A and B are shown apart, each in its own frame.
Chain A
Amino acid sequence: MTEDEELTPEEEAALRALPREAEPPPALEERVVGALRDRGLVARRRPVSWNSLAAGLVLFAAGLVAGRWLPARPAHPAEPVYLLLLYAGPDRTTGDEAARAHEYGAWAASLRKDGRLLGAERLGSEQRVLGEGSLAELPAPRGYFLFRASDMQEALAIARTCPHLRHGGQVAVQPLDPV
């Protein structure tokens, strides 16, 4: 029995001849795909629905590819998530709404390209307040963006570039509770 460091040609051939692959159980693929879907890491197959866009799926989404919203790639899975709420700003009937929608959509796309965007929606104007507090009316946000940032400082730096501010609106930034 040789104690040499090198393999004999026969040993090398025998090892290299061992199978390098094994067919995984078919069910494993569905398990993996399902797990990725649950985590938003792959997009579900979803038909393009122009009717759903007309029903008010986010004019922001009109700036996204082919009207189909794809889950964002997280900047880093450990980075905290921040909610950006849009308040006030121009009414839908004033100015060039289509241009504004495109601008917001482009901003959302830039967040997604950086791997930050987790969600974005425009909200309807109708608000109903429930509960026994003294407030009959609460500030009604116009829309929201959900994105990852390393900390509040970075989240604010991102929020300052939101086009809503350029159109006279206000935004609020809050972190999601990590607990």
Chain B
Amino acid sequence: MRDRGEDAFRVLYRRHTPVLYRLALRLLGEGAGAEDVVQEAWIRAAERLALFRFESSLRTWLVGILLNCVREARRRGSSGDPLSAEEAASPPVVGDAIDLERAIGGLADGYRRVLVLHDVLGHTHREIAALLGVDEGTSKSQLFLARRALRRRLGPVTRGSP
């Protein structure tokens, strides 16, 4: 991507966009809003590539840019209902997975964001702190509260049991 070749960009796009797109769907919901933020994220990534210092993986860096685009989209009010997007994006599976997606979609934005980054995507608190511009303690406390809120949404039945 640094040499600005289109073919090189398409390789990167295809490698990283599925994760970015899924993250945007989970955080924003409505399909068109997710596409817009993914597009905006790639534009900013291309503009800021000179600033990428390899202090994180390229994927983490792209996620950080996407999170900023999502935040701005939410402020503009151009997001939809995460629940409806998960219904549209998920295959017609009956059972726990849909309930879990619905429950995540119903969380408050901040809870949903940290829970998805940590428990779904596997980012560490250190990475999340850098991505969200908070300290690690805040990330941990937000995750604790997010998990508690998720459990309350799911109800008393243990989810994900075999």
Interface size for A (C-beta < 8 A) is 44
Binds A, one of B13-21, B72-80, B106-114, B127-135: B13-21
User: Contact partner of A24 among B2, B18, B100, B147, CB < 8 A?
Assistant: B18
A5, B10: Cβ atoms under 8 Å? Answer: no
For B38, the chain A residues whose CB sits under 8 A away are 24, 28, 32
Q: A17-B160, A42-B46 are in contact. Are A73 and B2 (CB under 8 A)?
A: yes
Let me know if A153 is at the binding interface, CB within 8 A: no
A39–B47 CA distance with the chains assembled, in angstroms: 9
Instruction: Check if B18 sits within 8 Å of A42, measured CB to CB.
Output: no
Across the interface, which residues of A come within 8 angstroms of B7, CB to CB? 45
B 82-120 to A, binary, CB cutoff 8 A, 1 in contact else 0: 000000011000001100110010000000000100011
CB within 8 Å: A-B pair count:
126
Secondary structure of the B contact surface, majority rule = helix
- State which residues 75-95 of A face B: CB under 8 Å: 75-77
Main secondary structure of the interface of A (DSSP, over half): loop
Is B119 in contact with A7, judged by CB distance below 8 angstroms? yes
Q: Could you say which residues of chain A place their CB within 8 Å of the CB of B144?
A: 5
Given contacts A11-B160, A15-B160, A28-B21, 6 further A-B contacts (CB under 8 A): A8-B158, A13-B160, A14-B96, A14-B159, A24-B21, A73-B50
Pick from A14, A41, A45, A77: contact of B160, CB under 8 Å:
A14
**Chain B interfacial positions (CB closer than 8 Å to A):** 2-7, 9-10, 13-14, 17-19, 21-22, 25, 35, 38-39, 42-43, 46-51, 89-90, 96-97, 100-101, 104, 115, 119-122, 144, 147-148, 151-152, 156, 158-162
A-B contact pairs, 8 of them (CB 8 A): A10-B159, A19-B90, A22-B22, A28-B17, A43-B6, A75-B50, A76-B50, A115-B50
- Considering the chains assembled together, what is the distance between the CA atoms of A107 and B66 in angstroms? 36
Residue of B nearest to A115 (CB): B50
Contacts of B147 in A (CB 8 A): 5, 7, 11
Q: Would you call A24 and B148 a contact (CB within 8 A)?
A: no
- A115 and B5 alpha carbons, distance in the complex (Å): 15
How far is it, in angstroms, between the C-alpha of A158 and the C-alpha of B63 when the chains are bound?
A: 36
CB distance from B156 to the nearest CB of A (A): 5
Give the distance to chain B from A74, nearest Cβ to Cβ, in Å.
7
The interface residues of chain B lying within 8 Å CB-to-CB of A28 are: 17, 21, 35, 38-39
Task: Name the residue among B5, B25, B104, B160 with the largest chain A CB count within 10 angstroms.
Answer: B160
Residue A25 at the chain B interface, CB threshold 8 Å: yes
Query: In this complex, what residue of A is CB-closest to B161?
Result: A10
Chain B residue with Cβ nearest A4: B147
Bound complex: CA A115 to CA B47 (Å): 10
> Do B100 and A14 have beta carbons less than 8 Å apart?
yes
